[in-house]
Amino acid sequence: MPPTDLWEHKIVPFTDDETRFNQLGREGWELVTVSGSMAYFKRRLSGRLLAALAHPIPTTGIAIDDSDLDKFSRG
């Protein structure tokens, strides 16, 4: 059973710009505390992220070096 109470955290510089804090609130962030010049926020992980944690993508164990990645980035 996947965990249901996982949180992501965000630390932002504390300013008097309440517009920024209002935007974070609309995005689901909750203010936890303010310490010095930093504000600490948290929000629950979304359902999609929780599902990904519960069912991780299996890896093949194949190593890929940077030269292989260049082949795909050239279009």
Residue 19: inside a domain, yes or no? yes
Residue 35: inside a domain, yes or no? yes
Residue 2: inside a domain, yes or no? no
Residue 23: inside a domain, yes or no? yes
Residue 40: inside a domain, yes or no? yes
18-72: pLDDT as tens digits:
888 899 999 999 999 999 999 999 998 876 666 666 666 666 665 555 555 555 5
**Number of other CB atoms surrounding residue 15 within 10 Å:** 11
Residue 33: inside a domain, yes or no? yes
Residue 36: inside a domain, yes or no? yes
Residue 25: domain span: 8-53
**Number of other CB atoms surrounding residue 29 within 10 Å:** 19
Domain count of the fold of the chain: 1
pTM value is: 0.56
Residue 64: inside a domain, yes or no? no
